[in-house]
Amino acid sequence: MVRVTVGVKGRAYDVTIGSGVIERAGDHLPDLQQATRAFVVADRTVADAWFEPLASALVDRGLTCVHLAVPRGEGAKTLEVYEALLHQLATQEAHRDDVVVGLGGGSVGDLSGFVAATYMRGVPFVQVPTTLTAQVDASIGGKTAVNLPEGKNLVGVFAQPRAVLADVASLATLADRDFRSGLAEVAKYAIALDVELLASLERDPAGLLAREPGALEDVVARCVRVKARTVAADERDAGERLFLNYGHTLGHALERLDAFAGRTHGEAISLGMVFAARLAESMGTCEPGLAGRTTRLLASLGLETAGALPPAGEILAAFRLDKKYQGGVRFVLLEDVGRPAVVDDVPEAAARAVLEEMGAA
Ligand SMILES: NC(=O)c1ccc[n+]([C@@H]2O[C@H](COP(=O)([O-])OP(=O)(O)OC[C@H]3O[C@@H](n4cnc5c(N)ncnc54)[C@H](O)[C@@H]3O)[C@@H](O)[C@H]2O)c1
Ligand SMILES: [Zn+2]
């Protein structure tokens, strides 16, 4: 069991990582004062596996659990589902000390965090992430949101949870594709921000790939430490937190361009990291070899490192829509592994040349 504190000013909270954390949830929660009920937002798949163990653990803390069911995946992050949850809280007379719990992947976490932040101007919120992506990334940092038809995450607030309980045992049932998608975020932390993690993944990723609880605990804890440190330094996403977007400029563009039919987030950022490494090499801002090392790591984790790309012109147009676009295309590039830097004004011609080398028309 590992505990990592996210030191945001005035609202610090702990992330508990380990196997069996859900069954002992009562031991890992902070004082929730007058709370009598926990409203647990979860889809059917996750609720079938984890609602009962969570509910029986919380009874020991004097909390009665109520399940609020939502659709699976990204389909949960809509204003309609958000509104339906608010109605359920209101009709069940949830009071301002009661707790909302997000039990599931990043979609359920983003949605339920937004519900908790806005119902009665804010009630306590606890994250119980059950995907690798949510454990290493989405559950930490307080970004909540739902989507609009016009785009992803367009409505939301920053609101930190009271606690995050990351049970690595829950990852056993994750579909391979969802697990691999999370491995792309792990690779991002390793390459951009944690060279010790990188070395250990390069040495032997077998335990992680086999989802051995000990290996998962180590890897999730390392990623959480990096995210916690970054969030504490930059809660509102102004500076250092940009580094967490390594590989995401091309990643987001690919997700936008092959909306719904295409790659998962992790698959898209995997290509994004290959692109960023090749771009840094071509601009001479890093030593040669970064792209090869990136490709080898991603391939060893079962991730895509080359593949069909939309036309370069469409990708460049999508870059201009990126929130990091402030007058020129702005990228997080590495000077070396573990040494990220924000580079403004990357010439479009340089980006285009690398995209074309990677096969974009
Ligand atoms: N707030 C943030 O900082 C942040 C960061 C990264 C991603 N996100 C958001 O997270 C979302 C993606 O989250 P995700 O990748 O976790 O996927 P997800 O939440 O969309 O879930 C994917 C699927 O996994 C299933 N699932 C979840 N846990 C499972 C388990 N233990 N066993 C079997 N199946 C399980 C779900 O039923 C669902 O079908 C996106 O909406 C993204 O915008 C937010
Ligand atoms: Zn990501």
Q: Are strands 151-155 and 146-148 parallel, antiparallel or unpaired?
A: antiparallel
Of 301, 344, 335, 325, the C-alpha closest to 252 is 325
pLDDT of 260 over the 60 cut: no
What Rg value do the Cα atoms of the chain yield, rounded?
A: 20
Q: Is 271 found in the same domain as 142?
A: no
Count the alpha carbons within 13 Å of 99 in the hemisphere toward its beta carbon.
Answer: 29
In terms of pLDDT, which residue wins out, 344 or 15? 15
- Atom 2 of ligand 1, residue of closest alpha carbon: 138
265-290: average pLDDT: 95
Query: Are residues 246 and 117 located together in one domain of the fold?
Result: no
Phi-psi region of 83 (alpha: psi -120 to 50; beta: other; left: phi over 0): alpha
Both 29 and 142 in one domain: the answer is: yes
In a domain, 346, yes or no: yes
Q: Kindly state the average pLDDT of the residues 326-340.
A: 87
Nearest to 140 by CA among 250, 42, 221: 221
169 and 217 assigned to the same domain: no
Domain check: are 303 and 351 in the same one?
Answer: yes
pLDDT surpasses 60 at 21 = yes
pLDDT tens digit sequence for 74-83: 999 999 999 9
Domain that holds residue 291: 206-357
Q: Which helix (H) or strand (E) holds 102?
A: strand 99-104
Dihedral sign (CA 59, 62, 64, 65): negative
Q: Measured in angstroms, how far is the CA atom of residue 350 from the centroid of ligand 2?
A: 24
C-alpha to C-alpha distance for 298 and 305, rounded to whole angstroms? 7
Does a structural domain hold residue 151?
yes
- Would you say residue 189 lies in a domain? no
d(CA 130, CA 360): 35
Residues 164-182 pLDDT 10s: 999 999 999 999 999 999 9
For the cut 90, the answer to whether the pLDDT of residue 234 exceeds it is: no
The domain total for the chain is 2
By three-state DSSP, how is residue 34 classified?
Answer: coil
* Cα 203 to middle of ligand 2, angstroms: 24
The DSSP bridge partners found for residue 18 are 167
CB atoms within 10 A of CB 274: 26
Contact present, 342 and 248 (Cβ < 8 Å): no
Same domain for 150 and 290, yes or no, is no
Task: Mention every residue, 6+ apart, whose C-beta is less than 8 A from residue 81.
Answer: 70, 71, 75, 111, 146
Region of poorest pLDDT, from 3-17, 108-122, 134-148, 230-244: 230-244
Strand partners, 336: 339
Kindly list the protein residues whose Cβ atom lies closer than 6 A to any atom of ligand 1.
43, 45-46, 72-74, 77, 104-108, 110, 130-131, 133-134, 137-138, 141, 143, 153, 170, 173-174, 178, 181
Phi–psi pair at 162, nearest 5 degrees: -85, -25
Looking only at the bridges linking them, the beta strands covering 329-336 and 339-346 are antiparallel
At 222, the pLDDT band (50, 70, 90 cuts) reads very high
Residue whose CB lies within 8 A of the most ligand 1 atoms, among 21, 50, 51, 110, for a mutation test = 110
Give the Cα separation of 275 and 298 in Å (integer): 13
311 Cβ neighbours under 8 A, 6+ residues apart: 360, 361
Task: Name residue 5's beta-bridge partners.
Answer: 14
pLDDT of residue 12: 96
The mean pLDDT value for 343-357 works out to: 92
Residues 68, 168: one domain? yes
Rounded Cα–Cα distance for residues 357 and 271 (Å): 13
Helix axes 348-357, 312-321, angle to 10 degrees: 130
The rounded mean pLDDT for the chain is 94
Residue 293, token pair as written in the block:
């090392």
Structural domain includes residue 239:
yes
State yes or no: pLDDT of 120 exceeds 90.
Answer: yes
Higher pLDDT, 213 or 327: 213
Q: Is residue 196 part of a domain?
A: no
- pLDDT at residue number 150: 82
For residues 161 and 228, state if they share a domain: no
Average pLDDT over residues 325-351: 87
pLDDT of residue 357: 96
Does the residue 185 lie in any domain? no
Residue 315 pLDDT class (50, 70, 90 cuts): very high
First to last CA, the chain: 49
Ligand 1 pocket check: which of 43, 44, 45 to mutate, most ligand atoms within 8 Å of Cβ? 45
Q: Of 104, 101, 94, which Cα lies nearest the Cα of 47?
A: 104
Q: What is the pLDDT of residue 324?
A: 57
Residues 230 and 146 in one domain: no
The pLDDT of residue 326 is 60
Dihedral sign computed on CA atoms, order 138, 139, 145, 147: positive
With cut-offs at 50, 70 and 90, classify the pLDDT of residue 261: low
Residue 123, in any domain of the structure: yes
How many Å lie between the centroid of ligand 2 and the Cα of residue 248?
A: 7
Task: Give residue 99's pLDDT band: very low, low, confident or very high (50, 70, 90).
Answer: very high
What is the residue with the minimal CA distance to atom 9 of ligand 1? 106
Amino acid at 96: R
Chosen domain end from 173, 191, 222: 173
Give the pLDDT of residue 256.
86
Does residue 195 form part of some domain? no
Residue after which a domain boundary falls, among 173, 190, 223: 173
Q: Say which CATH number the domain at 75 has.
A: 3.40.50.1970
Same domain, 167 and 220: no
Q: What is the CATH number of the domain that holds 302?
A: 1.20.1090.10
Q: Is a pLDDT exceeding 90 seen at residue 328?
A: no
pTM: 0.96
Is residue 140 located within the same domain as residue 14?
yes
Same domain, 241 and 335: yes
Residue nearest to atom 37 of ligand 1 (CA): 72
CA of 193 to the centre of ligand 1 (A): 23
Tell which of 126, 153, 173 closes a domain: 173
Highest mean pLDDT among 214-228, 256-270, 304-318: 214-228
Spatial distance between the Cα atoms of 209 and 99, rounded to a whole number of angstroms? 35
Which residue's alpha carbon is nearest to atom 38 within ligand 1? 73
Residues ≥6 apart with Cβ < 8 Å to 179: 132, 171, 211
